Chain A
Amino acid sequence: MTDATLVVTPAHNEEESVGLVVEGVRALGLRSLVVDDGSTDRTSLVAASAGAIVLNLPVNLGVGAALRTGFRYATRHGFKRVVQLDADLQHPPEAIPLLLEAADRGADLVVGSRFGSGYDPGARRAAMRLLSVVVSRRIGVRITDPTSGFKVVTEPLLSEFARYYPAEYLGDTVEALLQAGAFGASVIEIPVPMRQRFAGTPTMTPHAAGHFGRVLLSILAGRPGRRGR
């Protein structure tokens, strides 16, 4: 079934690590797609040299948009499931088979959860715990790491995500989980080993608190995903 699986890696200025990610993926016999989210460095070139198919977004749109681009590529080219893997090597590509095995057992969405050493400091930890509780309650499955960027998405959820996928910070993770729940997808979470960030800049920004509020609003509004007409 590896032919029907595509590993999508959104990358924004990750030239130092993206090559290793692509090589790790290809060593598993899987196809690698890197979506370059408006990088100003050599991310795109490094990824292509390492053997990835590369999509170049002309402007920086955020992880969610990069992922949706990957989902759209996957559905158009007949892939039945997508592994979502970050470009910063925080999740080792060698852990992908763990997720795929879980997906084979029938889950539409598999979340690889980080049981990291010293991963979440202070206020962030509290915020994540709150999100974890709220998300778990909403989708009826215990999710300890709602902001994990290491997932497997299988059809028909893949097509749903290709149609609509939240773009903003936390949207691509937390809101996407809620969307999957609302879609009726079966979601499971499995623990996977993680490394410390290898390179690149963390997505945690001063705007994070604002986005946290926005996500809570979206949860309260009970209408994650599906905006517009």
Chain B
Amino acid sequence: MSILAQILVVVIALSAVVVVIALVRAHRLRERYAVIWLLVAFGMTVLVVARPLLDRLSLALGISSGTTTLFLLAILGILGILLQLSVSLSALEEKVRDVAEAVALADATRPIEEPEDG
């Protein structure tokens, strides 16, 4: 990986950090999700800058190119985040359903023109 590519990755990671922090400050991103993205940016930077670390990891895994290891880790990380989001979404759907049902239950309409029910 060239120096230029390394610089590019670090710049992207730093930009991501800036964007994530800005989103949190604007209350458009919850801290708990922000942490995940900051860890991703941090991990990417470490692996790219600490080149020997990446190479040693690749060697241990039997992968010939450090870049491939980087891609592998990136994809696994993304899949992990997607799965986590699906779980969050499921919980959210359940909560929305609970809330909607509670609203309906709190607002029962009595039968119209029902003398014996008063």
Task: Give me the interface of A with B, judged by CB distance under 8 Å.
Answer: 35, 44-45, 48-59, 61, 65, 68-69, 72-73, 76, 167, 227-228
Question: B91 an interface residue at 8 Å Cβ cutoff?
Answer: yes
Chain A residues with CB below 8 A from B97, complex form? 61, 65, 167
Task: Judge whether A69 and B94 touch: CB under 8 Å.
Answer: no
Chain A residues with CB below 8 A from B111, complex form? 48, 50-54
Task: Judge whether B110 and A65 touch: CB under 8 Å.
Answer: no
Chain A residues with CB below 8 A from B91, complex form? 228
Chain A residues with CB below 8 A from B100, complex form? 57-59, 61, 65
Task: Judge whether B113 and A53 touch: CB under 8 Å.
Answer: no
Task: Judge whether B108 and A57 touch: CB under 8 Å.
Answer: no
Q: Within B47-106, which residues are at the interface with A (CB < 8 Å)? A: 90-91, 94, 96-97, 100-101, 103-105
Question: B2 an interface residue at 8 Å Cβ cutoff?
Answer: no
Question: B5 an interface residue at 8 Å Cβ cutoff?
Answer: no
CB within 8 A of B104: which of A45, A51, A55? A55
Task: Judge whether A69 and B101 touch: CB under 8 Å.
Answer: yes
Task: Give me the interface of B with A, judged by CB distance under 8 Å.
Answer: 90-91, 94, 96-97, 100-101, 103-105, 107-114
Task: Judge whether A53 and B101 touch: CB under 8 Å.
Answer: no
CB within 8 A of B108: which of A50, A54, A167? A54
7 nearest CB pairs, A to B = A54-B109, A55-B104, A69-B101, A48-B112, A51-B111, A57-B104, A49-B112
Chain A residues with CB below 8 A from B113, complex form? 49
Task: Judge whether B104 and A35 touch: CB under 8 Å.
Answer: yes
Q: Can you name the residue of chain B whose Cβ is closest to the Cβ of A72?
A: B105
Q: How far is the CA of A54 from the CA of B110 in the complex (A)?
A: 7
Q: How far is the CA of A44 from the CA of B107 in the complex (A)?
A: 12
Q: Can you name the residue of chain B whose Cβ is closest to the Cβ of A69?
A: B101
Query: Closest approach, in angstroms, between the C-beta of B84 and any C-beta of chain A?
Result: 16
Please list 6 pairs of residues, one from A and one from B, whose beta carbons are closer than 8 Å in the complex, sorted by A's number.
Answer: A48-B109, A51-B112, A58-B104, A65-B97, A69-B101, A227-B90
Most buried by B among A49, A51, A73: A51
Q: How far is the CA of A73 from the CA of B108 in the complex (A)?
A: 9
Query: Closest approach, in angstroms, between the C-beta of B87 and any C-beta of chain A?
Result: 10
Chain A residues with CB below 8 A from B107, complex form? 55-56
Q: How far is the CA of A55 from the CA of B104 in the complex (A)?
A: 5
Task: Judge whether A53 and B110 touch: CB under 8 Å.
Answer: yes
Task: Judge whether A76 and B112 touch: CB under 8 Å.
Answer: no
- A sample of 5 more A-B contacts (CB under 8 A), given A51-B112, A51-B114, is A54-B108, A56-B107, A65-B100, A73-B105, A228-B91
